[in-house]
Each structure stands twice: as C-alpha cells, then as structure tokens.
Structure 1
C-alpha cells in the first residue's frame, strides 16, 4: 500500500462534509435502534412459544387413535 494508492482510495470521500457525516451517523443510529427493537420483539415472541413433545413422539402417533396418515 502506497500513500498515493491510499489517496486514490479515499478521494471519493473527500467531498463528505461534517454535516453529511452527522446525517449518516444519525441515520445509522436510527437503523440500529430499530433493529434492536425488532430483536427484542422477536425474543419475546420466541419466549412465548412453548411446544410440549413426548419423549418418543413416533410411539405416541403409533398408539394414537386420532392419528391418520395423509396421502
């Protein structure tokens, strides 16, 4: 990596003003908050799902008179 190559890589960002940067950071912060909020909702939803399964579900279906094969 040369200094010249580094300058070429960062040159597109030289037009970014402090105001632009502030808006980008603010927008990113809002997106992060939204993701954290949705993540919390998903965790609460997942915690509310309870599935009770017998220790041997195949045996239960074999013995159950309610079980009907589809096909």
Structure 2
C-alpha cells in the first residue's frame, strides 16, 4: 500500500510536475542540467538557500544514520531480537565523543538559526501584559460587559502601540 502524502508534499509534487510539463512544452530544459540546485529550487518553489540548507541537514543526518546502520549490519546476526538490541547498544556506545560533539554543534547551529528567525517574535510578544482585572476601586461599579469592552480596547491599543514602536526601531 502506498504511503499517504501530507498536503505540503502533494504541493511539491504538483510543482515538480508543472515544471516538467513546461520543459516538455519547451522541448528543452528551462534551466541547464548542470545547475542542479537551481533546477530543484525552481521545481519545488523553494529558494536555493533553503535547498542548500536542507541538503546539508540531510547529509549530516545520513552520515550519522549510516554509521549506526553499518555498525549493526557489520555484525548481522539475523532477526533475533535480543541480539539486535545488544548490537544497537554496542553501536551507540561505539560512537565517539567527537561524533556526538559534531551532532551537538549541528543542533546548536539549527537552534541559533531558528532563534534568529523566530526570536524577534518572542521579543515582541513578551512585552504584552494582559491584565484580567483592574484593582482600582473606581471601576468596581462597572458591569462585566463594560469591563470586557474596556479591557479589549486597552489590549488592542497596547498591541498597536507596541507594534508601532517595533516598526520604528
């Protein structure tokens, strides 16, 4: 039974198909065959930078995965569960501290990139303080509906003010 695709995978397949159809109609490649990254980026709708990043991540993951697989496979003992568990544990223990350090640095690099990209949003949203109650005695006579309306107006005003301040930085 074929593996079901997520919507994003389906979109990429459709983009690749459309690109290939354009090449077919053109009766020649739209982008030279030796420009692999540019071709894949055009086919998938991704930037070349994103393609490069994904390629590097895949190479690192494949390298680590291959090390584990080859260490287990070199001692192939069939399908005995006890032996497979033992060999897997031995494979993990045979990975050097340098291998783990390389993986740690790769993960740290990815975390830093995600923080650079998404950290700005965290800094903006951390500035919002939502007060659910006003302890002032002058507001105690107002109805809950009036309070909710005032709170919403105050909240929206705060969002607009903070957003303007962030834009003007």
Question: If the TM-score is normalised by the length of the shorter chain, which range does it land in?
Answer: 0.3 to 0.5
**Higher relative contact order (CA closer than 8 Å, sequence separation 6+):** 2
| TM-score (structure 2 length as normaliser) | 0.21
| TM-score (structure 1 length as normaliser) | 0.43
